[in-house]
Structure formats: structure tokens, C-alpha cells
Amino acid sequence: MVSVLRIIVSALLMSLLSIAPSNADITTLAPAPAQSGFIQTAELQQSEVKVENKRLRQKHLRQLADIAYRQGNYKKAFNIYMNLVSMGSERAVFEVAVMYYAGRGVEENPEMALKFALAAEGAGYKLARTLLGDIYRDKSIEFRSIEQSVNWYTKAAEGGERMAQYKLGALYYFGDEIDANPKKAMNYLTKSAAQKNVNALSLLGEIYQLGYEGVAINYQLALKYNYGAAIKGDRIAQNNLAMMYKDGLGVQKDHDKAAPWFLAASDQGHSQAQLVRGMMTKYGVGVPKSIADAYFWTALSLKSGSTAARQKLEDLGNLLSREKIRKTEKKVAAWNPVRFKPSNYDLPPPPPGVATAPLVKTAAAKAVTQVMAIAKPLSIALPTKPISLNYREVAQKPDDIAVVIGIANYGRLGKDIPDVVPAYADANGMKQWLMKSKGIREGNIIHLKDATSAQMTGVFGNQSSHKGKLFNWTKPGKSNIYVYYAGHGAPGENGSSAVLVPSDATADTLNLVGYSLETLYKNLAKIPAKSITVILEACFSGSSQGGSVIARTSGLMIRPKIPPAPGNITVISAGAADQVASWEEDSSHSLFTKYFLMGMSGEGDKKPYGNGDGTTSYDELKSWLADSMTYRARRYYGRTQTAQITVR
């Protein structure tokens, strides 16, 4: 078998050489000892004398290479693996591919990584398929091909490789590089989680905790998957599990059980858990009271991306001297996450239905119980259920098209833009209205949850071409188009157009990845639709109810440049250019969307706003919003918010 394998690998390497540059020779893939600096140490020379059997010698060399790799001696490991390549080891071919791709022990070289990965896969080393998916997916590589990446991930996933199953499931879930496919996403994620892949466990926990298109909230499954990932050290799952105990989601509310998971997540750098820990130290609950330590954990939380920590940090800073702040900030800069070890925490037993674990209780487990009574509750739960309304239903209109975008989770990857908490519920409510009151069938609604820059471009086109997905779906002269957006807006840079903020933006990259409102209007105007209506649940001043969207603004309001809508587009927006789009006090809905939907359900047609003819006109809607939404924004927050309706 070994001799056959050597023949296969040698043939593959020689075939690869045939497509290498003309000056390449065998040293390109398997350098000779004198040319490559192959290990000729006394250690290996002695090993060669003692280990005569070739199979045992290969095994011995693999052990030496693996030890060198684990110790960080990558150059030594690379040289030994190359020696093994010349001996016909398919695993060594794979390891060399990995090292070329990562630039460990050898200069980073994606082309060589691809060659060795293909050779390893051809020799039957199945893990190479996932690596090939990674290489083709890499955005920094000239020969990047997402189609090839998906093909290789699919081969690996269908072969049972759990990391490929997770990566493929995540691609279909997030939909930022390929079209989202909830069914395929859940299929691959579930298969990966069944093999205990921590990433899949964590993502499934979040999906069942918050809900997903076609997937209902299921707290029992959320507990199961969150716990499975949390016990393996996933900080997101640890914080999510803590929040479920704190809020009583699927389990009895128990702050004692939430506490150790908050502590574990904070030690690993989770921003929300660090903020909870900062409050604990501020009030001396379960830990020694220390304003400096409270400042430390709150500063870490802000550094990790929590916008909620900014004001709390300012308040704590007023209680410390400049010297104390300087010293604490030096500690923050030097801090590194602590690797999770279950024995370091007083972990509660797993939730009901999950495998048992020992329970150890100390006073530390009671820390959060008291601090939650003092501090304002935190919650990662992003509501998805819209207000229940009865709409006047109409016959289905098979040619009409809608795009519904709801971006709530800007902090999914620890970024520095605050979440738009009610955006999911807003988008789901708008989708219901479009289906019932406008007769748009669900298959004609492009529903993007946490849309990325690439997804928005894919739907609306870019500055060079308006022919995105929406254009392709439209029937000229027959389709009425509706576009709804709930998420952040931001002012453009140096007087340029305001932008819609995708979920993959950061405060410093808004003008690089933000989707220009001017481009949106221009591209929509080029679509030969019967009518076009745009509804914007966003503000563009740079401020929002969740915090500042722009980096380093000190909370200043900026007057954005809002481009005029073309003559064939009706635009309805939550407020004027320099106003903040407000939410309900419980964050269940944005005020504008909630009262827009209520108005369109018939409230706006009633006296004194309407004439009672069974439909709500835009004039009636404007009057209704002024008396409902505008009033509540002023009463709740002391703000002026006036809906803008421009009918074409």
C-alpha cells in the first residue's frame, strides 16, 4: 500500500511540476537536502541508524515534525514534512500545503499551497478538500473563486468533514458571499454540530435563541447548543447561555447560574460579559469594590466593541485621577484573553435534557444576582415578532416585487457599530403588510437579514451597473416595486451622499462599504417598473438610539447630504435628515415602522385623520404619523421626529 501511495504522490507531484514555471525543477516541491537545508542534525542521523524500517522511520519523522510544529519551530517542521513528501506521505503533502498557505516555516505562497493541496486530495487525503475551499475563498488571492470554494466545501461536507459542514452552513446562513439558503444552512450546521464542532454548536444556539428565516425560536434547542459550545470554551455561547439564565429563556430565571458563564465569557474577551463584570466591581458585588477595576473591565468592553460601555466609562473616569486612568489604560492595552478551563469556574449543571456535569457552588456564583438588581439589565435578544394587526387583504399580484432589509445585529462579530434592536421585528412586520395589503407573494420578496455590502450590491447593482437581482426579477411596465430598509444610515464623507450601513461595516469604513443612497436612487430609476416605493426606517445624521455610528464624533449631529429622489420614485422616511429614528421604549419596534403599519391597517383612515373609505392615503398617513409617532418621540425622548413623504 505504501509503495502504491508513493507512486501516486510522485506522479501527482510530477504532473504539478509540468504546470509550474519553465525554470522549476523537483526542488520546487521536494527540495533535495543540500539545496533546501534539509535536517542533517545528529538527532536525525541517529534516528536513521536506529530506525531501519521505512514505515517506522516515516512515523518517527512525523512525530518529530509534529513536535516541532507544536513548539512553534515551523522551519524545522516544514523541512521534515518536505522530507516525508519525498517518501510518499500524503499527510505530509497536506501539511506542506497548510504551511505554504499560512506562511509558517516558509514564505506564504498561495499558488504552491494550491498545488500541494490538490496533490494531497488526489492522493486521497480528504481534509485537503476543506483547505481547497479555504484557498479558493480567500479574498486576497488573485485566482479566488467562490464557486470553486463552494464545490470543494460541498465535497468535504458530503464526505462527513465537520469543519467543511460548518463553513458551508455559515456561507448559506449569512449569505454575504453566496445566495442565502436557510434549508441548506440548517442542514449542514446540524450535521456539523452532531460531530461536536464548536462553531456550529454556537451558531445553532444563536439561531434557535433569536430565530431565523423559516426557523422558529426554540429555547430548548438553544440551551442545548449554547451549552455544548460554552463548555468547549466558545465565549459567544457562554454569554448567550448566561443571558438565557438571566432572562429566564427556556429555563427558570437564575442569576446564580448566569454568573459563572458571564465570568468565563469576560475572561475570554466577550464585550457584553466584560461590561457586566465592570458593574460587579463598581458596586462590589461578589468581588472587591474597586472603581479602577470597574474602569478596567468597562474599558475592555469598549475596546471589544460594546458601544453601551462608552457612557459608563466616561462616568467612571470622572471618579478617578488622570494618573489612575493612565495606569489602568496601560493594563487594558497589555491585557490578553484567558483560555477557558471549566475547573476555574463554579459552573452550574447543564440545562435539562443536556448531559450531566458536576455542580460546584461558591460565593462567586452569586455575584451577578445582586448586581442585576442594581444595574440596568442587558440583553442580546433582538425581537423578531412584529405587532399583530389586521390588514385589509387584496388579491395576489404575481408581478409585483419587494425587497425587505432588516439589519439588527451589527455587533455579531464584535464590531464598533451599535445594534438596531427592533430591525428584525420591523422587517417582519413590513413583510406581512406587503403580502396582505399589497398582494405580493412571498416568493417575490427578497428578504435580507443583516444584509452585507455584497448582498446589497447583488440586489441593487453598483455605480457601474443597475442590473442586480431586483432588475432581473422585474417585469417591464408590469411590476410595482417596494423597497424597505431598517438599519443604520450615515452621512457621507466630504459632502458625498448619505449611505445605508451594511452589517459588515465598521465605524471607520462606512464610506468604503456603505451603500450610497444616491446610487440606490439612480439604479432604481433605471428599472422599467410600473411604480417604485422606497420606505426607509433609518436616520442619516450619524447618531442613533443605540449610540453613535461614526467614529470619533463625540456625539455631534452631522447634517447629511440626502440626494433627491428621481421623479418616478415615492420615498417615505422615518424622519428628516438631521433627526434620530426613535424606538419604542421596550425596543419592540421602531416608532416609525410601528405607526406606519398601524396607519396602513386602518387607523390612519379613521377620523380625524382620514375619510373612512377603507384605504389610507399618503396624506392621511402623514396626518396619523404626526399625531402618533411624532408625539411619542417627543414624549419619550424629547426629540423631534417628523416622517418625510415624497409622492411621485
Angle at which helices 110-122 and 2-17 cross, to 10°: 140
47 vs 641, more confident = 641
Query: What is the C-alpha separation between 296 and 285, in angstroms, rounded?
Result: 16
Task: Tell me what pLDDT residue 561 has.
Answer: 64
Interval 627-639 mean pLDDT: 86
Whether 22 has a pLDDT exceeding 50, the answer reads no
pLDDT at residue 303, rounded to an integer: 86
Query: Nine-digit cell at 93?
Result: 503533502
pTM over the 0.75 mark: no
Average pLDDT over residues 387-402: 93
What kind and span of H or E run contains 537?
Answer: strand 531-537
Q: Over range 323-332, report the average pLDDT.
A: 93
Higher pLDDT, 150 or 16: 150
pLDDT at 512: 76
Helix or strand (DSSP H, E) at 262: helix 255-267
Is residue 494 within 8 A of residue 510, CB to CB? The reply is no
Q: What is the pLDDT of residue 458?
A: 92
- Looking at per-residue pLDDT, the higher value among 15 and 505 belongs to 505
In the prediction, which pLDDT does 225 show?
Answer: 94
pLDDT grade, residue 27 (50/70/90)?
very low
* CA atoms within 13 A of residue 601's CA, in its CB half-sphere: 15
Q: Is residue 565 scored above 50 in pLDDT?
A: yes
Q: Residue 357: its pLDDT value, please?
A: 40
Are the CB atoms for 512 and 549 separated by under 8 Å? Answer: no
Average pLDDT over residues 261-290: 85
Give the mean model confidence (pLDDT) for residues 31-38.
Answer: 40
HSE toward the beta carbon, residue 163, CA cutoff 13 A: 10
How would you label 550-586 residue by residue, b for 16+ Cβ within 10 Å and e otherwise?
A: beeeeeeebebbbbebeeebbbbbbbebbbbbbbbee
The Cα 64–Cα 57 span in angstroms is: 11
Q: What pLDDT does residue 381 have?
A: 60
pLDDT band with cut points at 50, 70 and 90 for residue 39: very low
The mean-pLDDT minimum among 27-41, 482-496, 523-537, 554-568 falls in 27-41
The set of cell numbers assigned to 167 is 463553513
Q: State the average pLDDT over residues 330-356.
A: 86
Residue 569 above 80 pLDDT?
Answer: yes
Q: What is the mean pLDDT of residues 557-584?
A: 79
Beta bridge partners of residue 481, listed in sequence order: 401, 532
- Mean pLDDT of all residues belonging to the chain: 83
Average pLDDT over residues 609-632: 92
Exposed/middle/buried for residue 331 (C-beta within 10 Å: 0-12, 13-18, 19+):
middle
The mean pLDDT of 576-593, rounded to a whole number, is 86
177-210: b or e for each residue (b if 16 or more CB lie within 10 Å)?
bbebebebbbbbbebbbeeebbbbbbbbbbbbbb
Distance of CA 429 to the CA centre of its chain: 23
- Quote the CA–CA distance of 337 and 356 in Å, as a whole number: 28
Burial class (CB in 10 A: 0-12, 13-18, 19+), 66: middle
| Those residues with Cβ within 8 angstroms of residue 456's Cβ, 6 or more apart along the chain or in another chain | 405, 448, 500, 502, 515
Q: What is the pLDDT at residue 416?
A: 65
Residue 106's pLDDT is 94
Grouping H, G, I as helix, E, B as strand and the rest as coil, residue 535 is: strand
For residue 418, pLDDT beyond 70: yes
- Examine the pLDDT at 585 and tell me if it is beyond 90: no
- Higher pLDDT pick, 17 / 519: 519
